[in-house]
Structure 1
């Protein structure tokens, strides 16, 4: 207790030292704890479902006659056939997610709606605040209009109404009786990614794809089959059995479609962990490594501060030695002092962790899975405890080993003249080597991720998204004829073009929405192609400014008459004929209908997507209710303006969606933008902390050679020769640090090549050289700045004292 009280009193006398240590360690430990907490959740912690290791999602892959996989999605009848006839899962469930209007709520909100089979809730242990989930009487082909609400929608929209089970919700003009409300603690399985946040669950029979129940040639990416694998069936065996089951049925049902001759279906089972988290493990490991490296750099700086503080306290330490304090007593003193500082730092560290968790849950929930489970846990606290003990031990060891116990009494007897405690050269060089190695590695790591992210952000898309808006409209009466819809949408288009802020209008989907897949065969029947396909009108290419390379685009007559004409992109054209013009050639769809190629446009890509794909464009029907609007420069458009125009003559219609396409692009680039910001900050913090640490060590090295420098200046040595002498004397630990960095990078390269090869671009070597040069320059500046103070004064100031 006495040692604790004494250490506390002494720290109170050094508020500057205590503040720097507490803040530096608090920030660095806090960042490490945040990284450990996130990494534990994403890499180690089991999913919150029973037998989670046996939960799988079935992926339905189509392979053409060449064995190429271009399509990965289920057909509706194939999915239902697999669900009804499989024998490899204990429990199986289907899910299809859509966004739907809830017309029974006054504001007509669009809510995420999941259509599932009854097994869904038992498969994921769904517990209910009120009521129940679906039962067998509400399974496939029963058409029972019932609904289950999430806790959040019950709270936000229905004010926790206890009589909610006596009410209905109306979707697509069907009244669904509410039969249950899930508990707030229910964690929805993110089968469709982190953005999935279902508000209402409805029976499978009411999903929008049900009209495809006999269409074996159409695939839909939002159809999913999940299941709990039987104990005696391996994933390999399950894949083989499901492949045989679905492939045979599919081939039998598409036998009359020549396009699919020699095509095959293969089923691949993907574990829930893989589906939810994807292939992002390497990024988490790199993040964890970076946070640990940042802590090591901070610890090196703090160790330097402890050494400097120890040197200043030589007289007090000498008195303790004179009255009988042994080496282990001094070690205990340093340990207690370090322990107090780390306890104070831990409070700040926990604050940092809570802030980090809040930021992740508030702003990154769309891209980071399982954020609802993220919290300070036992692993966080154990890591904090270990950090306190280990760092207290390290700082105590550094402090006690930085002094020569035998010289303490000599220092007291000689009144401190000429016997000042000096930090050994080996310790100083070790600190420099550690700082340089860690800083070089972190800066290189950050530079690689930063370079990749900037490339994604700045990569041209092939079209212009500036001043573009997309919106969709839908009628309250779904029984309108196609001609009535055409009349209304045509009238709306005319009124939009008369708006003073609007430059042009296209009746098409947004260009950055994922296109659907299609298939075409060449006229000679020798080549089958699977490609993206988009339906557009005559104004589409002009509105988004997508360049036309050959031929023409669609005319108003092509749209009106639904002519069998097609526009392809340059990638598809290159596949068809790399040398000649393909305009005029014909392609055949799976039904055998011929389409004449009338033009070739430049290929485009979606934001954050890897590369452009082969794509075709076909005339959009005039009854489409999707619009792209291009406004004039320095103008903007609001949803209320569209609502006002729509209400002038068509008040029974409503705006179902409205978005600024450029803002949607920014959201799509959220991950690379976030990576850019985080890696930039990490690099700046690393350089800053490393610079301070190197400055502290090198300034001390120069200070103890102050008399020598003054002597050299007095006998006529040049400034440049002194600068080179001081820097060259510290060059070896700097180079050793860089070599250590290179060794670490090489080890990671050979150990995890498959995981990191995506980052090993042609620029990786350039970035490595840049990182090493930056740290080398930082070391030079850290050496020059304290030396400059001596060089700018007359030599006599350096010769006045030896210490």
Structure 2
């Protein structure tokens, strides 16, 4: 293609700014959105992890299998983790990781930081890049108890002001003093082993993890903070996943069975270990979201292309005189194609340039809003993949639209077009092509709108479901306590509660963790020996009244229950039904001596639909968690909390200070994002489809202008013309709806396991509503182009067809 053709195409397009703006803006934004999602999919699903031998890295999941052969838990117990670490031989390198948080008390601001307790192989396994100093080495191996620390680049900059002499400093955390030996580089990519939302700020040796000495010896208590990653030995590279799982399971299960043989609760229970490639483990939670975004962006691109095809059809019709003149002076069909290709290529090139801007903005939006939910999102950038995809789309779309325009041209009829002055024998789009464009738009729009409506319904129900407890004006507080006897801790906390209750802004204080925090505990019934693994938490006598969680049977805890640590519990109505299906659970006893004294109404976790069995037991007076309710309209802030703490004991530190509404919003963020995104996609789909259908049907009406005028001249009414057009397009509408139904059916059959949670009879009205909306949209697209013919005198239609 020579520069002359490009120059001519530019000059021609310069005369049609609205056409250029429509094509470039529509395709630029749509392509930008698609390329943004494609790059995200590439990074998450295809791009190798930035670690050596990433194909040999595996995450190990610990499954506790009950006597009913059901998975009771998916987290390691501490002794099982350590046994695997010390006894396995499949992995040439293994890494242990425990995630927690802590307060750096040696800094004036006493900041809370996210901590990863790791074994020294972590730095070599993940090829950690250092800005200063070094990572952990053999001197920090398990049981060496060498108090050193490595900072992340952000922690170095934000907490230590980028001090170049930071390696000469130390920090204090939980009463221990750690010497700083290294700072990770700014471009170091952390493996998101604890989820996309966890960003490590400080690395400490494994020995100093916050698991208590008691829990380190408990074979039945699992902990979701424990993580195991190993690099498979090359000699086992040919082993299948079942073989690897079987070998690892044997290492742990046989030892565990011997350790719990004296516990009746674990009779006929077992341990199963399952491996998963590290890449699959990291991206597993985000795969569904990526595929949904891909489906949505591809659907929008298809609809946008159909709309742009209509514009190119109109543009080709408009250029028939110019094309006829070119043909008359000897231009071949190939030369005409090059002419069209130059103009189309310029438009698509401009659209791709705009798309790059949209991609850049899209990356920033995704990283800001979804950084805590989608793994590897920090790796998003304009890269070779996005550039290659842009070039490929540029070429494909340019050729597609150019060939569409060329197929409209009857080269041998162009001379007749010139002789007729462009009237009556111009370029036309066949009815078959028009029907295909209508049917494809209807099919795509119906399928996309229905999928988005279903997802919106599900997400909206989660967002608006009643929680069963109060969140307004309540703040959750976690304290970092000095390492002293439990009785002294209890005295300090009792004094702190009194100090807080004396504050004019505070209405009530409860010694308990936030409502969404539960641990998994095992219970055995006294009379029946039935075994239960249930979510439980410790609370005080003020908890239920503060949260307005109703006691529906029996009694609440008393102050004496808390003070004397009595063996009583309160169960929710779901657990009560399991304990006593045909009667009252009050008085039900367990083998540990605990008795049920009350039944409380169940709560819903934000963002989760299922209601689970739960129980509550008296909290220790030394419990380091508080709930603080403020008076209506009052705000008790972090600084005021710190002031109250320091007035009681200067050694008390604030670990977290977060409102219950903030916790709720965090847990609902994914559902809110889904609801907003699907609603926007549904509206955009309807809007683009409506414009596309209008463009096709308006063109069709203009082609039949003389026919319509003639029918009206001999007595046809407006409703007759509308009925005629509706009947002519009913077939295309029906085909489109049928195709959409088939597409949805294929999706359901192909992904039934994943979609079962969404499929129910309640979707039938939604599908009918979707079909109704698309049908109404199609009807409007048929009617609006006919209004000028119906409302104006017949002569206007006949004059325009001369």
Q: How far is the alpha carbon of 1:176 from its aligned partner?
A: 1.1
Q: Does 1:729 align with 2:728?
A: yes
What residue in structure 1 maps to residue 28 of structure 2?
26
User: What corresponds to 1:763 in structure 2?
Assistant: 762
8 Å CA contact 1:531, 1:615 repeated in 2: yes
Please state whether the residue corresponding to 1:240 is helix, strand or coil.
Answer: helix
Aligned residue in 2 for 1:368: 374
8 Å CA contact 1:437–1:740 kept in 2: the answer is yes
Per-residue deviation, residues 601-636 of structure 1 (Å, max 9, x unmatched): 122232123412211110011122311122333443
| Cα offset, 1:648, TM superposition | 4.1
Q: Does 1:482 align with 2:482?
A: no
What aligned pairs does 1:686-765 form with structure 2 within 5 A after superposition? Answer: 686-765=685-764
Of 310, 313, 322, which residue of structure 1 is paired with 2:328?
A: 322
Q: How does 1:258-407 map to 2 (within 5 A)?
A: 258-407=264-413
Give deviations 1:204-226, integer Å, cap 9, x for gaps: 11111151333324322211221
Query: Alignment length, in residue pairs?
Result: 796
* Paired residues of 1:474 and 1:654 also in contact (CA < 8 A): yes
- Which stretch shows the higher mean deviation, 696-705 or 628-637? 628-637
Deviation string 1:405-428 (CA, Å, 9 cap, x unpaired) is: 222211222333433333222222
Checking the alignment, whether the CA contact within 8 Å between 1:115 and 1:203 is kept in structure 2 is yes
Q: Work out which of the residue numbers 233, 240, 243 in structure 2 matches 1:237.
A: 243
Larger deviation: 491-500 or 435-444?
491-500
Bigger CA drift: 148-157 or 615-624?
148-157
Q: Tell me, which stretches of 5 or more residues in structure 2 are unaligned? A: none
2:780 corresponds to 1:799: no
- Contact map agreement 1:149 1:178 (CA 8 A) in 2: yes
SS for the counterpart of 1:529 is strand
Determine if contact 1:282/1:755 at 8 Å carries over to the other structure. Answer: no
The 1:273/1:111 distance shift into structure 2, 3 A limit, reads same
What is the aligned partner in structure 1 of residue 93 from structure 2? 91
The match for 2:436 is 430
CA contact 2:102–2:480 (8 Å) conserved in 1: no
Match of 2:200 in 1: 198
Deviations 1:442-467 (A, max 9, x none): 21221122122112212222222222
| TM alignment of 1:517-528, pairs within 5 A | 517-528=520-531
Q: Which moved more, 1:665-674 or 1:486-495?
A: 486-495
Q: Distance in 2 between matches of 1:215 and 1:699?
A: 75
Please say if residues 76 and 210 of structure 1, whose CA atoms lie closer than 8 Å, have aligned partners that are also in contact: no
2:162: which partner in 1? 160
Q: Does the CA contact (< 8 Å) of 2:341 and 2:398 recur in 1? A: yes
Structure 2 counterparts to residues 571-590 of structure 1, below 5 A:
571-588=574-591
Match of 1:44 in 2: 46
5 Å matches for 1:210-221? 210-211=212-213, 212-221=215-224
Structure 1 residues 587-736: aligned runs within 5 Å: 587-588=590-591, 593-736=592-735
Deviation at 1:228, TM superposition (A): 1.1
Taking the TM superposition and a 5 Å limit, the aligned residue runs for 1:411-426 are: 411-426=417-432
Specify the SS of the correspondent of 2:217.
coil
1:530–1:745 CA distance, 2 compared to 1 (3 A): same
The answer (yes or no) to whether the contact 1:403–1:423 under 8 Å persists in 2 is: no
Report SS of the residue matched to 2:594.
strand
Number of the residue aligned with 1:492: 496
Task: Please say which of residues 76-85 and 743-752 is displaced more in the overlay.
Answer: 743-752
Alignment check: 8 A CA contact 2:286 2:375 kept:
no
Deviation of the 1:510 alpha carbon? 0.4
Q: 1:550 aligns with which of 548, 553, 556?
A: 553
Answer whether contact 1:193 1:275 (CA < 8 A) is retained. Answer: no
Q: Which residue of 2 aligns with 1:61?
A: 63
Residue 462 (structure 1) aligns with: 468
Q: Structure 1 residues 756, 281: closer, same or farther in 2, change over 3 A?
A: farther
Deviation at 1:541, TM superposition (A): 1.0
2:513 to 509, 513, 519: 509
Q: Could you tell me whether the CA contact under 8 Å between 1:112 and 1:199 is conserved in 2? A: yes
How far off is 1:520 after superposition?
Answer: 0.7
SS at match of 1:177: strand
Secondary structure of the equivalent of 1:669? helix
Does the residue aligned with 2:462 lie in a helix, a strand or coil? helix
Q: In the aligned structure 2, how far is the partner of 1:95 from the partner of 1:720?
A: 74
Question: Structure 1's 280 and 474: CA in aligned 2 closer, same or farther, altered over 3 A?
Answer: closer
User: What's the CA shift for 1:240?
Assistant: 2.0
SS at match of 2:5: helix
Partners of 1:649 and 1:746 in 2: how far apart? 65
Distance in 1 separating the partners of 2:325 and 2:175:
90
For 1:510 and 1:105, locate their aligned partners in 2 and report how far apart those are by CA, in whole Å. 27
8 Å contact kept, 2:103–2:480: no
Partner of residue 179 from structure 1, selected from 178, 181, 185: 181
Deviation at 1:105, TM superposition (A): 1.9
Q: Which moved more, 1:39-48 or 1:746-755?
A: 746-755
* Counterpart-to-counterpart distance in 1, 2:629 and 2:713: 75
User: Displaced runs of 4+ in structure 1, greater than 4 A?
Assistant: none
Residue 798 of structure 1 and its aligned partner are, at CA, apart by: 2.3
Q: How far apart are residue 163 of structure 1 and its match?
A: 2.5
C-alpha spacing 1:368/1:165, structure 2 compared with 1 (3 Å): same
Structure 1 residues 89-137: Cα deviation after superposition (integer angstroms, max 9, x where no partner): 1111111111111122221111111111111111111232222222222
Contact 2:103 2:654 in 1 (8 A): no
Q: Any conservation in 2 of the 1:126–1:186 contact (CA below 8 Å)? A: yes
Deviations 1:177-196 (Å, cap 9, x if unpaired)?
11222222321111111012
The 2-side partners of 1:465 and 1:459 are apart by 14
CA contact (8 A) 1:334 1:395 kept: no
TM-score (norm 1): 0.96
Deviations 1:720-751 (A, max 9, x none): 22211112211211222222222222222233
Rounded Cα–Cα distance in structure 1 between residues aligned with 2:468 and 2:476: 18
Find the aligned partners of 1:223 and 1:42 in 2 and give their Cα distance. 24
Measured against aligned partners, the alpha-carbon deviations of 1:261-309 in whole angstroms (never above 9, x if no partner) come to 3321221223212321125434322321221121111111111111111
Change (3 A) 1:156 1:648: closer
Aligned residue for 2:30, secondary structure, equals helix
Compare 699-708 and 632-641 and name the one that shifted more: 632-641
Contact conserved, 2:495 with 2:648, CA < 8 A, in 1?
Answer: no
Separation in structure 1 between the aligned mates of residue 285 and residue 203 of structure 2, nearest angstrom: 29
| Matches of 2:316 and 2:81, distance apart in 1 | 72
* CA-based RMSD: 1.9
Contact kept, 8 Å, 1:247 with 1:264, in 2: the verdict is yes
By how many angstroms is 1:525 displaced? Answer: 4.4
Q: Distance in 1 between matches of 2:78 and 2:185?
A: 31
Unmatched runs of 5 consecutive residues or more in structure 1:
none
Distance 2:615 2:364 in 1: 44
TM-score by length of 2: 0.96
Matched, 1:71 2:73: yes
Does the CA contact (< 8 Å) of 1:311 and 1:423 recur in 2?
no
Of the three residues 532, 541, 551, the one matched with 2:544 is 541
- After TM superposition, the structure 1 stretch with the greater mean CA deviation from structure 2, 455-464 or 555-564, is 455-464
Work out whether 1:452 is the aligned partner of 2:458: yes
Contact kept, 8 Å, 1:147 with 1:180, in 2: the verdict is yes
Whole-angstrom distance in 2 between the partners of 1:263 and 1:525: 18
State how far apart, in whole Å, the 2-side matches of 1:101 and 1:501 are: 26
